[in-house]
Amino acid sequence: MSGVGNYSISIRSFGVHAVLVEWPKEVCGAILNDILQFVNYLENNCLDGAKYEIVPSYNSITLVHRGKPIVFEEFKTKLNTWYEERNATPTKQKFLWRLPVCYDLEFGIDLEEVSEKLGMSVTKVIESHTHNVFTVYGIGFLPGFMYLGGLPTSLEVPRRSTPRLKVQKGAVGLAAKQTGIYPQESPGGWNIIGNCPIPMFDPKSNNPCFVSVGDQVQFYQIERAPYDLCKIEGEVGIYKPEKIKLDA
């Protein structure tokens, strides 16, 4: 079926309590906007937020009922109808977040290797990474882990052949067409080029992850002394990342 965005969506059962709604398998800003518009419509007109968890990502929405099993065919019919009705619904306000990164080799443990693989200087890698504006296409893997799309082809590098058992909290990595920040210490196979001192996930906060799918992120380079200061401010909860409203 097609909606106002002229996208054919598919709806299938995803377990007893969940349904998966899928768009064409493309990494595309227009598709992401259509997904977010539908999410906003569902949240404001169709589904009780206390009963449903709605998880948008690159090409899909996962809808999870927190309490009881979903009657799939009945719910599928409703979703198709709601998708057709969503055309006048705007997306939520989006923001551009500017986040500091220290690219010192102490943190950028793969930076020199990445530089060699890409055939550009370390300085050029950093310049390219900070010059670009990335879109948050998904949040997952770890709570607060942002999958940032829009990496220029000049920075595309495969995942490491052997993942590390321990990647430092705040590590900024590259993998294929994406970049991202590890919100906590964990195993991982991305190429680490720096570290962001700002906590990306705070389970004690009313809004544990301040960034949302559809937002944008731009990194800027800082040296070690400002990094240490930002880290202290982040740990005590007084650091306020720079936030810029984006046009709807």
- CA pair distance 47, 239, nearest whole angstrom: 35
Whether 7 shows a pLDDT value over 80: the answer reads: yes
In a domain, 4, yes or no: no
The predicted pLDDT at position 12 comes to 96
Average pLDDT over residues 57-81: 94
Whether 159 shows a pLDDT value over 80: the answer reads: yes
* Last residue of one domain, picked from the residues 88, 122, 156: 88
On whether both 53 and 155 belong to a single domain, the answer is no
On whether both 123 and 76 belong to a single domain, the answer is no
- CA pair distance 148, 38, nearest whole angstrom: 21
Q: What is the mean pLDDT of the chain?
A: 92
CA distances from 237 to 129, 209, 227 (A): 27, 13, 15
- CA pair distance 80, 21, nearest whole angstrom: 10
On whether both 149 and 62 belong to a single domain, the answer is no
The 10s digit of each residue's pLDDT in 90-105 is: 778 999 999 999 999 9
* Structural domains of the chain, count: 2
Percent of the chain whose predicted confidence (pLDDT) is above 70: 97
Average pLDDT over residues 77-92: 85
- CA pair distance 242, 61, nearest whole angstrom: 29
Whether 4 shows a pLDDT value over 50: the answer reads: no
The predicted pLDDT at position 86 comes to 83
* Last residue of one domain, picked from the residues 88, 113, 134: 88
More confident residue, 6 or 98: 98
The predicted pLDDT at position 136 comes to 95
Whether 24 shows a pLDDT value over 70: the answer reads: yes
The position carrying tokens 């046009």 is 247
CB-count exposure of residue 25 (10 Å: 0-12, 13-18, 19+): exposed
On whether both 74 and 105 belong to a single domain, the answer is no
Residues contacting residue 181 through CB under 8 Å, at least 6 positions apart: 99, 145, 146, 170, 171, 172, 173, 196, 200
On whether both 26 and 133 belong to a single domain, the answer is no
On whether both 22 and 109 belong to a single domain, the answer is no
- CA pair distance 63, 71, nearest whole angstrom: 13
CA distances from 96 to 164, 224, 243, 247 (A): 31, 24, 6, 10
On whether both 226 and 140 belong to a single domain, the answer is yes
The predicted pLDDT at position 2 comes to 37
In a domain, 131, yes or no: yes
On whether both 225 and 105 belong to a single domain, the answer is yes
Average pLDDT over residues 116-140: 96
Looking only at the bridges linking them, the beta strands covering 18-22 and 191-195 are unpaired
The 10s digit of each residue's pLDDT in 198-226 is: 999 888 877 789 999 999 999 999 999 99
* Structural domain boundaries enclosing 200: 95-245
